[in-house]
Structure 1
Amino acid sequence: MKGFKGFKGIVEIMHLIPGRVRFLVPTLKNEPDKCKQLKTQLEKAEQINGITPNPITGKVLIEFDKDHIDVETLTGVLVKLLGLEKSIEKSPNSMLTKELKDLFKSLNTGVYEYTNGVMDLRSLVTTSFIGFGAYSMIVKRNLMPPGLNFLYWAYMNLQKP
Structure 2
Amino acid sequence: MGLFYGAKSHKGNDPTLFNGFPGTLEIKHAIPGRIRFFAPSLVQLSKGKELLEERMQAIEGIEQVKVNTISGSIVVLYREEKIEKILILGIIIKLLGLENKLQTKEVPLVRKEIRKWNEALSYSLYEKTRGLLDVKAALSLVFLFYGIKGLFFSTEIAKANPYSLLYWAYRSLVLEADHQ
TM superposition score normalised by structure 1: 0.76
Counterpart in 1 of 2:56? 42
| Greater radius of gyration (CA) | 2
Mapping of 1:18-97 within 5 angstroms?
A: 18-97=32-111
The structure, 1 or 2, with the larger RCO (C-alpha pairs under 8 Å, 6+ apart) is 1
Specify which of 141, 160, 171 is matched with residue 127 of structure 1.
141
Identity rate, percent: 27
Inter-partner Cα distance in structure 1 for 2:139 and 2:154? 21
Inter-partner Cα distance in structure 2 for 1:61 and 1:117? 57
Asked if structure 1 preserves the Cα contact closer than 8 Å seen for 2:53 and 2:65, the reply is yes
- Where does structure 2 lack aligned partners over 5 or more consecutive residues? 4-15, 172-180
CA deviations over 1:12-42 (Å, ceiling 9, x no partner): 0111111111111111112131222211211
Letter in 2 for 1:66: E
CA deviations over 1:58-83 (Å, ceiling 9, x no partner): 11111111222222221111111222
Asked if structure 1 preserves the Cα contact closer than 8 Å seen for 2:61 and 2:79, the reply is yes
Inter-partner Cα distance in structure 1 for 2:46 and 2:60? 24
Inter-partner Cα distance in structure 2 for 1:38 and 1:80? 11
Counterpart in 1 of 2:21? 7
The CA RMSD measured in Å over matched residues stands at: 3.2
Inter-partner Cα distance in structure 2 for 1:148 and 1:50? 64
Shift of 1:86: 1.5
Letter in 2 for 1:40: E
TM superposition score normalised by structure 2: 0.69
Counterpart in 2 of 1:157? none
